[in-house]
Amino acid sequence: MLKEYIIDSNFKITIEINKINIQNYGVLVSFSDNFISIKKNKLKINITGKDLLIKNLIKDELLIVGDIIKIEYISLDDK
Amino acid sequence: MSILKNRVLIEVNGNSPQKFILKLNHNKIDLLKINKINEKKYNILINYEDLKKVKKINTIYKIKVLNYYGIVKILKLLFNFYHVIIITFLGIMGLYLLSNVIFSVEIVTNDSEMKEKLLNTLSELDISKYHLKRNYEYLQQAKDKILKEYSDEIEWIEINNIGTKYIVKYEPKIINKTKENDNYKNIVAKKNAVILSIYASSGNILKSKNTYVNKGDIIISSDIYLNNEKKDKVPVVGKVYGEVWYETKVVYPFNYFAQKKTGKKNKYFRLKVINKKIDVFKFKSFNDKIDIESKIIKNSLLPIGFYKVIEEEVETKTGMNVVEELRLLAVNYAYEKLNETLKDDEYIIKSKILDSKIIPKGIQMTIFFSVAEDIGMYH
């Protein structure tokens, strides 16, 4: 309990204008200027936009900047 | 960015650098800051400890280090400019030495004998050329020691430091000299001899040239007589030379070992730390040589010293002398040894070989010498 409290391992996504911060993002599957794909357990997140750039990529945090058009959550259980 | 964190900015260049970024991410390398320069080029800030891993992972991309941050940057700078740092350090050391080393010691006097004596005493007290300057207390102690040592000759002494020079001024004790002049002593023969010459500027000459004198005979007297009656006493000033005789025995070996200086010299500096010797600015070395060390700096507490070394090349010869040569060498050796004991105004008149025989060690000779010597002494 204490460990979980101190080390926050929960998946968390923060959306700001032209900026997305994802904590405990799992695996970065692919990225390009207009598409970034992330996989966390049985959840896949596809971000579509323009001039997308991963500014920061450390083991438990990821920061994307650019013109974000769409964020898609796909549950892999459904497929 | 904390200056204590070691980070490095790298440039990744190649087709689809995104794939390489994904590869780095899958290898759990933190990409702290990513900047896209163009489609083929990214600048990425990573932790310094990940740099080796990044280079290992890389196969086809060109990785170039653009900058370092943190302590590693300071270390890299120091490493890149180590020669500048060493030169600067040596320069500061050199400047310190030049401004704290004495290059000349001048004694203000016309008395060359006293000058020589004082220079030797100062040298024993480490107040000499190429030695570090001494503080006020040390100079005071040195002055006290000199005054104590030369209590009969020096009244007062002053050691002044001007730049890299010591100027020593002293006041001689005049009273002593007056006493010496007042000394009415005779000149007597210090050994048995035949008088060769007598030079007297004051005193009564009692013996003549070619007279045989025994040890203790008065040659120049301070007493002045008139009609066999003592009239006055004068100070005696003069010199007496006489012919004296020596019989010397010389043994000269068959084997010889001789070293002769060629005149070639090599100068450099030497750092001594305990028993280790580190030679500085030594660009060449001779096979057979003699090292002469002169102290520049020596710490009396730590076993460290810095020395100037003059290395002189010598030619070493070893061999065996033949009997004819041996005779000549033995006579020359006896001449040299006897000459060493003589003063500048004394000389060997003649010599004669009395006996010569071969012994297992070499040759044994008995040589007679007739020598012109200063035989007078005040008594």
Least-confidence region, from B48-57, B70-79, B253-262, B368-377: B253-262
- The answer to whether the Cβ–Cβ distance between A54 and B34 falls below 8 Å is yes
- The answer to whether the Cβ–Cβ distance between A59 and B30 falls below 8 Å is yes
The dihedral sign for the CA sequence B52, B55, B57, B63? positive
Which letter does DSSP use for residue B115 in this model? H
HSE toward the beta carbon, residue B241, CA cutoff 13 A:
15
Q: Which among B30-44, B94-108, B217-231 has the top mean pLDDT?
A: B30-44
Q: Does B47 touch chain A (CB under 8 A)?
A: no
With contacts defined as CB-CB under 8 Å, which chain A residues touch B21? 31, 54, 57
Q: Does B26 touch chain A (CB under 8 A)?
A: yes
With contacts defined as CB-CB under 8 Å, which chain A residues touch B33? 55-56
Q: Does B38 touch chain A (CB under 8 A)?
A: no
Q: What angle, 0 to 180 degrees and rounded to 10, lies between the N-to-C axes of helices B112-124 and B136-149?
A: 130
Question: Is it the case that residue B89 has pLDDT exceeding 80?
Answer: yes
With contacts defined as CB-CB under 8 Å, which chain A residues touch B22? 28, 30-31
Q: Is the pTM of this model over 0.95?
A: no
- The answer to whether the Cβ–Cβ distance between A58 and B36 falls below 8 Å is no
The per-residue DSSP string of B259-306 comes to: EEEEEEEEEEEEEEETTEEEEES-----SSEEEEEEEEEE-SSSSEEE
Question: Is it the case that residue B182 has pLDDT exceeding 70?
Answer: no
pLDDT score at B242:
93
Report the C-alpha gap between B306 and B291 in whole angstroms. 15
Q: Which residue in B28, B33, B34 is closest to A59 by CB distance? A: B28
pLDDT 10s digits, B338-356: 888 888 889 999 999 999 8
A-B contacts (CB, under 8 Å): 30
In chain B, which residue's Cα lies nearest the Cα of A51? B36
Cβ–Cβ < 8 Å for B18, A32: yes
Instruction: Tell me phi and psi for residue B129, to 5 degrees.
Output: -55, 140
The minimum CA-CA distance between B54 and chain A, rounded to whole Å, is: 14
pLDDT score at B178:
45
With contacts defined as CB-CB under 8 Å, which chain A residues touch B30? 57-59
The minimum CA-CA distance between B35 and chain A, rounded to whole Å, is: 7
Report the C-alpha gap between B355 and B365 in whole angstroms. 5
- The answer to whether the Cβ–Cβ distance between B34 and A57 falls below 8 Å is yes
Q: Does B338 touch chain A (CB under 8 A)?
A: no
Q: Which residue in B18, B25, B28 is closest to A32 by CB distance? A: B18
- The answer to whether the Cβ–Cβ distance between B36 and A53 falls below 8 Å is yes
**% of chain B exceeding 90 in pLDDT:** 25
The minimum CA-CA distance between A32 and chain B, rounded to whole Å, is: 7
Pairing outcome for strands B104-108 and B165-172: parallel
Q: Where are the alpha helices (H) located in chain B, listed in sequence order?
A: 17-26, 51-57, 71-80, 82-100, 112-124, 136-149, 174-181, 323-341
pLDDT score at A7:
67
Question: Is it the case that residue B179 has pLDDT exceeding 50?
Answer: no
- The answer to whether the Cβ–Cβ distance between A57 and B30 falls below 8 Å is yes
Question: Which of B34, B44, B47, B54 is best to mutate for the A interface (most A CBs within 10 A)?
Answer: B34
Confidence band, pLDDT 50/70/90 cuts, at residue B176: very low
pLDDT 10s digits, B91-117: 998 888 788 888 888 988 888 888 888
b (16+ CB within 10 A) / e for A37-58: bbbeeeebbbbebeebbbbbbe
- How does the average pLDDT of chain B come out, rounded? 86
- The answer to whether the Cβ–Cβ distance between A56 and B31 falls below 8 Å is yes
